[in-house]
Amino acid sequence: MGKSLYEKVWEAHEVRRLKNGMSQLFIDLHLLHEVTSPQAFGMLKDLGLKVRYPHRTFATVDHIVPTHDRTEPFQDPLAQGMLEALRKNTREHGITFFDLGSGHQGIVHIVGPQEGLTQPGMTIACGDSHTSTHGAFGAIAFGIGTTQVRDVLATQTLAAQRLKVRRINVEGQLGPGVYAKDVILHIIRHLGVKGGLGYAYEYGGSTVEAMDMESRMTLCNMSIEGGARVGYVNPDETTFRYLEGRPYVPKGVEWEEAKRRWLAFRSDPDATYDDVVTFRAEEIAPTVTWGVNPGQAIPIDGRIPLLEELPEEERAQAEDALAYMGLKPGQPIKGVPIQVAFIGSCTNARLSDLREVARYLKGHKVKKGVRALVVPGSEWIAKKAEEEGIAEVFREAGFEWRNPGCSMCLAMNPDRLEGDELAASSSNRNYKGRMGSPRGRTVLMSPVMVAAAAVAGEIADAREVFGIGR
């Protein structure tokens, strides 16, 4: 009987069974950032332990980086302290650190693939839930807590629980102006934010096979918003084309060998799954959220559901979400005024995202009164965007072009919403207070849709604003 990629990778990395029945799983690649690692290094020190295999750990700084002025010391001493702690910890333990100004710094889930650290068939862990992003390469990648960061530093292993696998097929061709972000919001809308509990999501089907790597990363990135700790796509020629020539990817004879090894991890044609669901690409429209979790979403031309249209157990939650958002049941989402537009985050701050937006934004202006920010995902992306003239398109349109980091997505740096401002955002979470103001409101959408909202001054259909598909 055939096996899925998940099963093959798991079996190749299971060191042994623990007394309680969990598995000790070897982690090929460990990624660190400044927020969830200092306590782990502290625990390591308390236990008198060292980092066992420092060549398998890489670090960068992303969450607390000011995007406007990165002159050190930062204005926020706590942020500066976190950066310095990471510098000190990586230096003391011999861990590679992509520091500010190195040309390699950026959001950890953007830097991994960009440097070629992320490779098929790997197990990858990081103290950040969006580690699922790396699954786009056919890796089993997942977020861990700080105590587990300590475990990986000390042993390169984790006590882990095997998941079930749900195959999610997306078939057909996406319409003009419809992106991977819309696909994942559509999936979460239908399977629910708890739908993935206990599952790894394997994405496939003709739509996913046709996606470039950056789109696949967006898809896998938000698996966690669907409740699935892991999401992945089987490696193929698209994966290899992306990886070839990147700094940490094998070269020459080793490259050919690596490709053979990677292909062997692909799910067998007769692999069995614990569940299979299929979506049609033609049924997916540009999708936006109306509530306070990523499953509370609708097509841009739809209206917010009436409470009685929702399953009974979701009504109280929807009522509470609408009260927070200042929206009404049955109201169209299109036309709701915005105060802030944010393009960035590990979901959608890649070069392809910025290129795609620039293509349409050129010649348009951000509506007066809208604060529009674009925060590239890494120093490398920022540089490329300058070279290609993309940064200039954003500036001319009235966007603030910022330095790379996580920025407003969770607002651990100075970028944040004020009061009850409403933001059109390309990030991944619309939770209450997520963007730094306890009353701030977030509407999730694709980067092109954020640009359309910035231009219109309200939530808008990018296909209309930019004449996409005509």
| Residues placed in the known binding site for [4Fe-4S] cluster | 346, 406, 409
Q: Which of 204, 305, 436, 447 binds other proteins (CB under 8 A)?
A: 436
Q: Indicate whether 81 belongs to the interface with other proteins (CB under 8 A).
A: yes
- Residue 226 Cβ vs other proteins, minimum distance, rounded to whole Å: 10
- CB nearer to other proteins: pick between 43 and 277: 43
- CB nearer to other proteins: pick between 17 and 280: 17
Q: Indicate whether 391 belongs to the interface with other proteins (CB under 8 A).
A: no
Report yes or no: 9 and 140 within 8 Å, Cβ to Cβ: yes
Task: Please state, in angstroms and rounded to a whole number, the distance separating the CA atoms of residues 33 and 458.
Answer: 35
Instruction: Assign 341 to helix, strand or coil.
Output: strand
The piece of 36-44, 206-214, 297-305, 448-456 that touches other proteins (CB under 8 A) is 36-44
Q: Indicate whether 442 belongs to the interface with other proteins (CB under 8 A).
A: no
Beta bridge partners of 303: 332
Q: Which two tokens stand for residue 435?
A: 């963007």
Annotated binding-site positions = 346, 406, 409
Q: Which of 32, 107, 141, 158 binds other proteins (CB under 8 A)?
A: 158
Q: Indicate whether 151 belongs to the interface with other proteins (CB under 8 A).
A: yes
Q: Indicate whether 247 belongs to the interface with other proteins (CB under 8 A).
A: yes
Report yes or no: 212 and 180 within 8 Å, Cβ to Cβ: no
- The amino acid present at 338, given as its one-letter code, is I
Q: Which of 11, 92, 159, 173 binds other proteins (CB under 8 A)?
A: 159
From residue 100, give the alpha-carbon distance in Å to each of 59, 94, 107, 169, 403.
11, 18, 11, 40, 10
Q: Which of 134, 334, 434, 463 binds other proteins (CB under 8 A)?
A: 434
Q: Indicate whether 48 belongs to the interface with other proteins (CB under 8 A).
A: no
Q: Indicate whether 187 belongs to the interface with other proteins (CB under 8 A).
A: no
Q: Which two tokens stand for residue 67?
A: 């995007």
Q: Indicate whether 133 belongs to the interface with other proteins (CB under 8 A).
A: no
Task: Please state, in angstroms and rounded to a whole number, the distance separating the CA atoms of residues 117 and 110.
Answer: 10
- CB nearer to other proteins: pick between 42 and 205: 42
Report yes or no: 61 and 69 within 8 Å, Cβ to Cβ: no
Q: Indicate whether 35 belongs to the interface with other proteins (CB under 8 A).
A: yes
Q: Indicate whether 429 belongs to the interface with other proteins (CB under 8 A).
A: yes
Q: Which of 71, 78, 270, 311 binds other proteins (CB under 8 A)?
A: 78
Residue 35: half-sphere exposure toward Cβ, Cα within 13 Å: 18
Q: Which two tokens stand for residue 244?
A: 């070839």
Q: Indicate whether 264 belongs to the interface with other proteins (CB under 8 A).
A: no
Q: Indicate whether 144 belongs to the interface with other proteins (CB under 8 A).
A: yes
Task: Please state, in angstroms and rounded to a whole number, the distance separating the CA atoms of residues 16 and 300.
Answer: 49
Q: Indicate whether 251 belongs to the interface with other proteins (CB under 8 A).
A: yes
- Residue 346 Cβ vs other proteins, minimum distance, rounded to whole Å: 12
- CB nearer to other proteins: pick between 64 and 285: 64
DSSP letter at 378 equals B
Contact pattern for other proteins over residues 102 through 121, marking x by CB under 8 A: -------------xxx-x--
Q: Which two tokens stand for residue 468?
A: 């996409």
Instruction: Give the H or E element holding residue 114.
Output: helix 108-115
Q: Indicate whether 368 belongs to the interface with other proteins (CB under 8 A).
A: no
- CB nearer to other proteins: pick between 100 and 154: 154
Nearest partner of 329 among 339, 320, 342, judged by Cα? 320
Q: Indicate whether 412 belongs to the interface with other proteins (CB under 8 A).
A: yes
Taken in order 206, 208, 209, 210, the sign of the CA dihedral is positive
Task: Please state, in angstroms and rounded to a whole number, the distance separating the CA atoms of residues 61 and 63.
Answer: 7
Q: Indicate whether 39 belongs to the interface with other proteins (CB under 8 A).
A: yes
